[in-house]
Amino acid sequence: MNRAPDQAPTAEPAASPLLEVRDLSMRFGGLLAVDNVNFDVRRDQIFAIIGPNGAGKTTVFNCVGGFYRPTSGSVTLDGQPIHRLSSHRIARLGLVRTFQNVRLFKTMTVVENLLVSQHTQLETRLLPGLFKTPKYRRAETEALERAAFWLDKVGLLQVANREAGNLAYGQQRRLEIARCMITHPKLLMLDEPAAGLNPQETRDLDLLINNLRAEHGVAVLLIEHDMSLVMGISDDILVMEYGRPIATGTPDEIRGDPRVIKAYLGEE
Amino acid sequence: MSGSPLLEFIQQTINGLTLGSIYALIAIGYTMVYGIIGMINFAHGEIYMIGAYVGLLVITVLSLFGVDSISLILLATLAVSILVTGSYGWAVERLAYRPLRGSPRLVPLISAIGVSIFLQNYVQLGQGARDVSMQPVLVGGWRFGPEDGFQVYLSYMQVLIALITVVSMTVLTLFISRSRMGRACRACSQDRAMANLLGIDTDRVIALTFVLGAALAAVAGVLVSMYYGLVNPFIGFIAGLKAFTAAVLGGIGSIPGAMLGGVVLGLAESFASAYLRTEYKDVVAFALLIGVLLVRPSGLLGRPDVEKV
């Protein structure tokens, strides 16, 4: 865990997990919302966290993404501890997320939403911006091209200049994913991406997530209630209940686990 | 009061637009900060006052050295005042707001009022509490109308104020709508936490809005000190209050709203002093605010906050 960051990537790329969560706990006053959670996400993995409402899934997300500072435990991305960093630094290290509710910049256009998220990759100094140097223009053109590529990918190219808030719900969801992907993340975190989608849109989402991993090499960590989606695309699943992890395993293992069945269906 | 009502109306419109330009320039500082962090910068009036002092100081120094080119004086004064006042704006954010980020809303409000009191007294100690005056830099103007009756007077200074205000606002609008940093500002004003998660350094964006607001207040301060040739450490209070009113009138958080609010407020005050009595101008200004808020609670150009459940 205390490896120097410069030797981490080349030394053991396949063996070392991309994200390591160790002994993660989060306490809000008297409530222990997350109690000692451990899991790893590998580089090419789709990893899901499931559990009943209030199980602490989103709190885990918020701790990993830097939204909360965990009470104890550590989160390591690519060998680098990130649980003390602020969100924008974590984002620059390659971890981005969506939320349960859509959080687009609603009064900006679709393409502007994608340009904003490239902010860190673009030069933002004042003077080149004011004088529009050739370098600035070139970078701006490249940013537009990348935006167009991703809009095409998620099927939103024809609505590029619409205000994001006016898109249909499913389109807004896809725009959010595009907005994350355009930053070249190593790990994409999706908080209930299928919530509010119709069955067709959910199937499209399934294809999109698989495609992102296959073509763009991104690992995906997701929270989801839609079991058809979770069981279909996840490599590994972590089940939580009352803030505690109760099982980890492949979809088949999870499906047959008596503790999971008990948590979901109640005890007989 | 004998004379053409039309000419008098034109005169009051000119005066109102001049005053409104100043209000609008200051109001933008309030509205931008509110747009990003949802708080009122109560030290903003004092920032404007400092801009006016720096303006007066630079003009006096330049005239001591015998510089008499208007454009040179203007450019140098604006540049120095924007620079100095901008640093004050940055310092206000750094000292009174950033350390308190995440604390209840009332806390930074109080600290900003503290900064405001501090700045007022600090300038009093350094410059004295009395009016400081200087020779007007730009005198003269045009007169229109009959030789023997009421004449409309349009001073060069009024034209200059309108011109500089329009230029400043155009530059600001272009910056906000076209540049990357401006895009980041708009993103932050819609969802600061999300912008941060996408890798935007929101602290830097917040600091930038304070500096931009202070720069525009500096422009207003320089123009006022050239227009009236008179400043004192207390001008920030009433100007700040009026500009804040203008920002709320136009819809707080909206930059075009602040511009419009400033002009509307300036015109209202000017007409009230002319057609009622001078004493009524503040009454009319604030009555207008109440009236507009009763009909449009989010201001003239503000977007109503629709809470989605």
What's the pLDDT tens digit per position in B167-210? 999 999 999 888 888 889 999 988 888 888 888 888 999 999 99
CA A240 to CA A46: how far, in whole Å?
17
Whether residue A108 and residue B190 make contact (CB cut-off 8 A), yes or no, is: yes
Pick the residue with more confidence: A230 or B23?
B23
Whether residue B190 and residue A117 make contact (CB cut-off 8 A), yes or no, is: no
What's the pLDDT tens digit per position in A132-185? 677 778 888 888 899 999 999 888 889 988 998 888 888 899 999 999 999 888
Asked if the model's pLDDT at residue A7 lies above 80, the reply is no
Whether residue B186 and residue A108 make contact (CB cut-off 8 A), yes or no, is: yes
Whether residue A108 and residue B196 make contact (CB cut-off 8 A), yes or no, is: no
Which residue range forms the structural domain that includes residue B50?
A: 27-142+149-295
Compare all CA atoms of chain A with the CA of B179 and give the residue at the minimum distance: A129
| Nearest CA-CA distance, residue B302 and chain A, Å | 13
Asked if the model's pLDDT at residue B17 lies above 90, the reply is yes
Asked if the model's pLDDT at residue B81 lies above 50, the reply is yes
Best residue in B101, B191, B194 for a mutation probing chain A (most A CBs within 10 Å): B194
Q: Which of B179, B181, B201 sits opposite A88 (nearest CB)?
A: B201
Q: What is the pLDDT of residue A126?
A: 58
| Nearest CA-CA distance, residue A89 and chain B, Å | 7
Number of domains in chain B: 1
Q: Which of B175, B184, B190 sits opposite A119 (nearest CB)?
A: B184
Enumerate the residues of chain A whose CB falls inside 8 A of the CB of residue B303.
107
List own/partner pairs for B142-150 with CB under 8 A and 24 or more apart: B144/B7, B145/B4, B145/B7, B146/B4, B149/B2, B149/B3, B149/B4, B149/B7, B150/B2, B150/B3, B150/B4, B150/B7, B150/B8, B150/B11
Most confident of A7-16, A51-60, A126-135, B263-272: B263-272
User: Which CATH number characterizes residue B190's domain?
Assistant: 1.10.3470
Whether residue B198 and residue A108 make contact (CB cut-off 8 A), yes or no, is: no
Residue B46 lies in a domain: yes
DSSP state letters, chain B:
--S-HHHHHHHHHHHHHHHHHHHHHHHHHHHHHHHHHS---TTHHHHHHHHHHHHHHHHHHHHHTT---HHHHHHHHHHHHHHHHHHHHHHHIIIIIGGGTTS-THHHHHHHHHHHHHHHHHHHHHH-SS-EE---SS--EEEES-SSS--EEEEHHHHHHHHHHHHHHHHHHHHHHHSHHHHHHHHHHH-HHHHHHTT--HHHHHHHHHHHHHHHHHHHHHHHHHHHSEE-TTHHHHHHHHHHHHHHHH-TT-HHHHHHHHHHHHHHHHHHHHHS-GGGHHHHHHHHHHHHHHH-TT-SSPPP-----
**Number of C-beta neighbours around residue B93 at 10 A:** 24
CB A250 within 8 A of CB A42: no
Q: What is the pLDDT of residue B177?
A: 87
Can you count the helices (H) and strands (E) in chain A?
11, 10
Asked if the model's pLDDT at residue A201 lies above 80, the reply is yes
Interface of B with A (CB under 8 A): 175, 179-181, 183-184, 186-187, 190-191, 193-202, 303
Whether residue B199 and residue A92 make contact (CB cut-off 8 A), yes or no, is: yes
Closest listed residue to residue B219, CA positions, set B140, B159, B262, B166:
B166
A95 in helix, strand or coil?
A: strand
Residue B17 lies in a domain: no
CA B150 to CA B139: how far, in whole Å?
20
Task: With residue A248 as reference, give the H or E element that holds it.
Answer: strand A244-249
Residue B224 lies in a domain: yes
Enumerate the residues of chain B whose CB falls inside 8 A of the CB of residue A67.
193, 197
Enumerate the residues of chain B whose CB falls inside 8 A of the CB of residue A61.
none
Q: Which of B186, B197, B303 sits opposite A87 (nearest CB)?
A: B197
B123: confidence class by pLDDT, cuts 50, 70, 90: very high
Q: What is the pLDDT of residue A122?
A: 66
Compare all CA atoms of chain A with the CA of B184 and give the residue at the minimum distance: A116
Pick the residue with more confidence: B230 or B80?
B80
Structure tokens at B265: 């407020």
Q: What is the pLDDT of residue A151?
A: 92
Best residue in B176, B180, B201, B254 for a mutation probing chain A (most A CBs within 10 Å): B180
Q: What is the pLDDT of residue A267?
A: 59
Pick the residue with more confidence: B86 or B302?
B86
Q: What is the bridge-based pairing of β-strands A72-77 and A19-28?
A: antiparallel
| Mean pLDDT confidence for B113-122 | 94
Structure tokens at B214: 């202070």
Asked if the model's pLDDT at residue A249 lies above 60, the reply is yes
CA distances to B50, B51, B58, B221 from B119, rounded to whole Å, are 8, 12, 19, 15
Structure tokens at B166: 């329009």
* Neighbouring residues of A87: CB distance < 8 A, sequence distance ≥ 6: A65, A66, A67, B193, B196, B197
Q: Is the pTM of this model over 0.90?
A: no
| Nearest CA-CA distance, residue B168 and chain A, Å | 14
CA A102 to CA A173: how far, in whole Å?
7
Asked if the model's pLDDT at residue A6 lies above 80, the reply is no
Q: Which of A97, A105, A115 sits opposite B191 (nearest CB)?
A: A105
Task: With residue A57 as reference, give the H or E element that holds it.
Answer: helix A57-64
Enumerate the residues of chain B whose CB falls inside 8 A of the CB of residue A107.
186, 190, 303
Structure tokens at A243: 């803030």
CB B299 within 8 A of CB B257: yes
CB A37 within 8 A of CB A30: no
Asked if the model's pLDDT at residue B149 lies above 70, the reply is yes
In total, the C-beta contacts within 8 angstroms joining chain A to chain B are 80
Question: Residue B48 carries which side chain, given as an amino acid letter?
Answer: Y
CA B309 to CA B303: how far, in whole Å?
18
| Mean pLDDT confidence for B75-97 | 94
Pick the residue with more confidence: A120 or A231?
A231
Q: Which of A66, A117, A129 sits opposite B179 (nearest CB)?
A: A129
Q: What is the pLDDT of residue B37?
A: 87
Q: What is the pLDDT of residue B114?
A: 94
Asked if the model's pLDDT at residue A124 lies above 70, the reply is no
Whether residue A91 and residue B193 make contact (CB cut-off 8 A), yes or no, is: no
B309: confidence class by pLDDT, cuts 50, 70, 90: very low
Q: Calculate the average pLDDT of chain A.
A: 84
Whether residue B187 and residue A130 make contact (CB cut-off 8 A), yes or no, is: no
What's the pLDDT tens digit per position in A59-115? 998 888 888 888 989 999 988 888 888 888 888 888 988 888 888 898 899 999 998
Task: Provide the sign of the torsion angle of the four alpha carbons B126, B217, B213, B253, taken in this order.
Answer: positive
Whether residue B183 and residue A115 make contact (CB cut-off 8 A), yes or no, is: yes
Strand A80-81's sheet: what is its strand order?
A31-41, A19-28, A72-77, A80-81
Asked if the model's pLDDT at residue B215 lies above 70, the reply is yes
| Mean pLDDT confidence for B213-241 | 92
Residue B9 lies in a domain: no
ipTM of model = 0.73
User: Would you tell me the crossing angle of helices A169-181 and A134-153 to the nearest 10 degrees?
Assistant: 130
Residue B214 lies in a domain: yes
Q: What is the pLDDT of residue A130?
A: 62
Give the lowest-confidence range in A16-25, B88-97, B193-202: B193-202
Residue B2 lies in a domain: no
Q: Calculate the average pLDDT of chain B.
A: 89
Residue B135 lies in a domain: yes
Asked if the model's pLDDT at residue B306 lies above 60, the reply is no
Pick the residue with more confidence: A257 or A1?
A257
Residue B265 lies in a domain: yes
What's the pLDDT tens digit per position in B250-281? 998 888 999 999 999 999 999 999 888 888 88
